[in-house]
Amino acid sequence: MTGIDEITLNFSPGSLTLLNAILAIVMFSIAIDLTTEDFKRLGRAPKPVLIGLLSQFIVLPFLTYLLVLATEPRPSIALGLILVAACPGGNISNFITHRAGGNAALSVSMTAFATVGAIVLTPLNIALWGGLYGPTQEILQKIRIDPVEIAIIVGLMLVLPLILGIQLNMRKPEITQKLRRPLQILAMTIFIAFIVLALLANWDFFLQFAGAVAGLVILHNALALGAGWVTATLGGVSPYNRRAITIETGIQNSGLGLVLIFAFFGGLGGMAVAAAFWGIWHAISGLGLAMIFARTDAPR
């Protein structure tokens, strides 16, 4: 039987371009909820955002490294987990935070700040933690990732739509008011449909190897959610903000992860299956956690 490290998933250059465009649309749909005043307000009270970014870009990658050391998965699976942990928060985190009765405004702002920070922090975390673990270091040495190229991809896919969305909301608020809900629904529907079609195109591979990553992804996601909750608790933020930080840390941008995997790693099987399973599972766990949170009101 072919090993998971030897397979390459079916993903054409055209599909990659389409995924880039979809992620840009999703980011734009989030950005039209923001104004520069949101950033100024957070600048006056930055503690929740700083704690959230600490949880997402420092605590989670470090815990992921410890998880990899403890479980010693196949190299491509290990690097897939490290890469997902290095990505900014996922786009559905804002919706899930709202459903959980958490601070949705904080969630949106954290997504925005994390997206901008990902230009530097995503390639840095991949290189740092992937380089510290011997088996994944070998993959990185063969690939020779260009951090500048990753920064350009993140900038074009996420930061540019973010800036355009904020500008449109500030200059033409009446337009964004009409666009906001339909565009967010459309963007998430297209994104979910794309992931489903990509999985169907590689269904045999996914069925063959999902078992190898399912337990690790579930454990990794639980670790991410727990890291967000503990970091926020130790940081002394309100329960209202803690819910947002917990979900923002546990919902990762696996779509960006897939783009990076196909752009730089040739669709390496273990990485792609891990990111794809993350994309499915974090939505399930996030919505489940939101239902539990929503049972009680969170003090602000």
User: What is the pLDDT confidence band of residue 3, given thresholds at 50, 70 and 90?
Assistant: low
User: What is the pLDDT confidence band of residue 4, given thresholds at 50, 70 and 90?
Assistant: low
pLDDT of residue 142: 81
pLDDT of residue 10: 59
φ/ψ of residue 222, rounded to 5: -65, -40
pLDDT of residue 1: 40
User: What is the pLDDT confidence band of residue 297, given thresholds at 50, 70 and 90?
Assistant: confident
Condensed to tens digits (0 to 9), the pLDDT of residues 116-161 reads 888 889 989 999 999 999 999 988 888 766 777 777 878 877 788 8
Condensed to tens digits (0 to 9), the pLDDT of residues 25-49 reads 877 877 787 777 766 766 777 899 9
Condensed to tens digits (0 to 9), the pLDDT of residues 218-271 reads 999 999 999 999 999 999 999 999 999 999 999 998 888 888 888 788 778 788
User: What is the pLDDT confidence band of residue 115, given thresholds at 50, 70 and 90?
Assistant: confident
* SS3 track for the chain: CCCCCCCECCCCHHHHHHHHHHHHHHHHHHHCCCCHHHHHHHHHCCHHHHHHHHHHHHHHHHHHHHHHHHHCCCHHHHHHHHHHHHCCECCCHHHHHHHCCCCHHHHHHHHHHHHHHHHHHHHHHHHHHHHHCHHHHHHHHHHCCCHHHHHHHHHHHHHHHHHHHHHHHHHCHHHHHHHHHHHHHHHHHHHHHHHHHHHHHCHHHHHHHHHHHHHHHHHHHHHHHHHHHHHHHHCCCCHHHHHHHHHHHHCECHHHHHHHHHHHCCCEHHHHHHHHHHHHHHHHHHHHHHHHHCCCCCCC
Answer whether residue 8 shows pLDDT above 60: no
> Mean pLDDT over residues 72-93, rounded?
90
Answer whether residue 208 shows pLDDT above 80: no
Q: 13-292 — its CATH code?
A: 1.20.1530.20
What share of the chain has pLDDT > 90, as a percent? 33
Answer whether residue 13 shows pLDDT above 60: no
pLDDT of residue 16: 65
pLDDT of residue 24: 80
Can you say whether the dihedral through the CA atoms of 119, 121, 127, 133 is positive or negative? Answer: negative
Q: Which sequence spans correspond to the domains of the chain?
A: 13-292
Can you say whether the dihedral through the CA atoms of 84, 57, 126, 117 is positive or negative? Answer: positive
User: What is the pLDDT confidence band of residue 211, given thresholds at 50, 70 and 90?
Assistant: confident
Predicted model pTM: 0.85
Whole-number mean pLDDT of the chain?
Answer: 84
pLDDT of residue 281: 87
